[in-house]
Homo-oligomer: A and B are copies of this chain.
């Protein structure tokens, strides 16, 4: 459905078959940036069509090189996937979390700062792409999912849980289950992106990551209820 010809424009008009052996568009670049360029191309395509539906040749073409060249830098198609995750994980630099963890100030301030950072990060398609890819291909690359979990989730989640625990203990948060509360904290952000990326559903006025996060934090802290005297159930 709707894939149709490769139809890269169709402007070639005349030209016809052999685009001319005369033209020598062979680039001979020094290899150095190559692996990264290849990964960039791969990421684009894996996101666009999924790992399985992307041909190595597609990646090559998008990277502006030939099929064989890919194999100069990556031993297999799978290695592209792995390289992608590895590259993204190295500088994960979620020191933000660590930092946050140490702060002992007003949680609202902390979360607002954290929300701002996360919001900024997630506004970069390149960044969202990685977890999205991991989720999508997790069944075929359980190792990668595990690694992502180890490197990212298992680092971030406990920090947040501890943050909540501390606030509960200090009486600044109501006595909620920290492990479940975390989900109330991060879930909305995930669904916000998901609705956009998968279904093209965006609130009026665009994604507005910042505004959305602010709105969410507000609800998170104050709840939806208008009256302070909530039932104690």
- Find chain B residues with CB under 8 A from A53 CB: 1-2, 52, 139-140
Q: Secondary structure at chain A's binding surface: helix, strand, loop or mixed?
A: helix
How many residues in A have their beta carbons less than 8 Å from beta carbons of B?
94
B184, A216: Cβ atoms closer than 8 Å? yes
A136-153 interface mask toward B, CB cutoff 8 Å, 1 = contact, 0 = none? 111111110110110001
A76, A148, A184, A195 pick with most chain B CB within 10 angstroms: A184
Copies of this chain, whole number: 4
Decide: A212 near B180, CB < 8 A? Known: A2-B140, A199-B153: yes
User: Given A49-B140, A174-B224, A191 and B183 touching (CB < 8 A)?
Assistant: yes
What distance in Å separates the Cβ of A105 from its nearest Cβ neighbour in chain B? Answer: 11
A145 touches which one: B86, B149, B198, B215 (CB < 8 A)? B198
Contact partners of A138 in chain B: CB under 8 A: 198-199
Among A179-210, those with CB < 8 Å from B are 179-181, 183-192, 194-195, 198-201, 203-204
Q: Is the CB of A224 within 8 A of B221?
A: yes
Complex Cα spacing A220 to B181, Å:
10
Bound state CA distance, A139 and B73, in angstroms?
27
A1 to chain B: which residues have CB within 8 Å? 51-53, 78, 82, 140-143
Nearest to A83 among chain B residues (CB) is B4
Interface centre among A142, A176, A204, A219 (most CB of B within 10 A): A219
For residue A174, give the distance in angstroms from its CB to the closest CB of chain B. Answer: 5
